[in-house]
Amino acid sequence: MIRVAVTGAAGRMGSEVIRAVNAEPDMEVVVGVDPAHPGETLQGVVVSTDLSSAIEREHPDVMVDFTRPDAVETNVRTALAAGVHCVVGTTGIPLETLQQLAQGAPGQTCLFVAPNFAIGAVLMMRFAAQAARFLPHVEIIELHHDRKADAPSGTALRTAALIAENRPYVPEAPGCETEIASGARGALAEGVSVHSVRLPGLVAHQEVIFGGEGQTLTIRHDSIDRTSFMPGVLLAIREVGKHSGLVVGLERLMPE
């Protein structure tokens, strides 16, 4: 049995992770941590506020973190120092911070981070990287629920990075002579315009729109339910112990 600690246990993603893990035959949630729900029992898991003592008591093999950009760093540092592998879905952490965290980890522990655990989103990013080789003019529209803490999304930033790695040249960004409302042309990430939409009713969605002579190509992915992320999270829980150091992106655990 893989013993799993879930940080952000009471959150939208954390509660879905507890449900998914406890439905599997080869893993179980032994620790749930969430500061706003001390002592509560959520889906059979008693919620603690102190990750360090919960790790000492329950000896989890893997911590899964879906919390907040301002909380994840301390959680990861605590887990890695105790030799617990980390599967991180929380977005908004700079790459340099992840590298520093992984450097401080004991030899065989792994810090696995995925900006998006949905298989369809990983494919969207892969297809966008391919398309960028032939269609360098591209913009990203990412759409999320209105409680999301960070913008642009981790998926949009990762997509922009993949586009930057693959397109043969960076076309001159078409500005506009008169920006009547500031920010109308979006934010620039790796030279790609990114537009962030935040609305109730949305879960996690992204369109990557390429433009060429007389044509456009739109690649779109929609997570319409948080269950879409769970096969990727379960895969990461099973695989993380086979790796060490920093590993970024679900594609690193998927067959080519």
CB of 90 to ligand NAP, least distance (A): 4
Would you say 209 and 193 are in contact if contact means Cβ atoms under 8 Å apart? no
DSSP 204: E
**Applying CB under 6 A, which of residues 8, 60, 136, 152 lies at the interface with ligand NAP?**
8
| Three-class secondary structure of residue 58 per DSSP | helix
State residue 161 phi and psi, 5-degree precision.
Answer: -65, -40
Please list the active-site residues.
144, 148
Instruction: Based on the shown chain and the rule CB under 6 A, indicate whether residue 75 belongs to the binding site for ligand NAP.
Output: yes
Instruction: Based on the shown chain and the rule CB under 6 A, indicate whether residue 252 belongs to the binding site for ligand NAP.
Output: no
State residue 18 phi and psi, 5-degree precision.
Answer: -60, -45
Interaction mask 45-64, ligand NAP, x per CB under 6 A: --------------------
Q: How many CB atoms lie within 10 A of CB 126?
A: 15
Instruction: Based on the shown chain and the rule CB under 6 A, indicate whether residue 90 belongs to the binding site for ligand NAP.
Output: yes
Q: Which two tokens stand for residue 146?
A: 């209105």
| Three-class secondary structure of residue 41 per DSSP | strand
Instruction: Based on the shown chain and the rule CB under 6 A, indicate whether residue 112 belongs to the binding site for ligand NAP.
Output: no
Could you give the CA distance from residue 69 to residue 161 in angstroms, rounded to a whole number? 20
Closer of 35 and 191 to ligand NAP (Cβ): 35
Q: Say how many residues touch ligand NAP, by CB under 6 A.
A: 28
Q: Given the rule CB under 6 A, which residues bind ligand NAP? A: 7-8, 10-14, 33-36, 66-68, 71, 75, 89-92, 114-117, 148-149, 204, 229
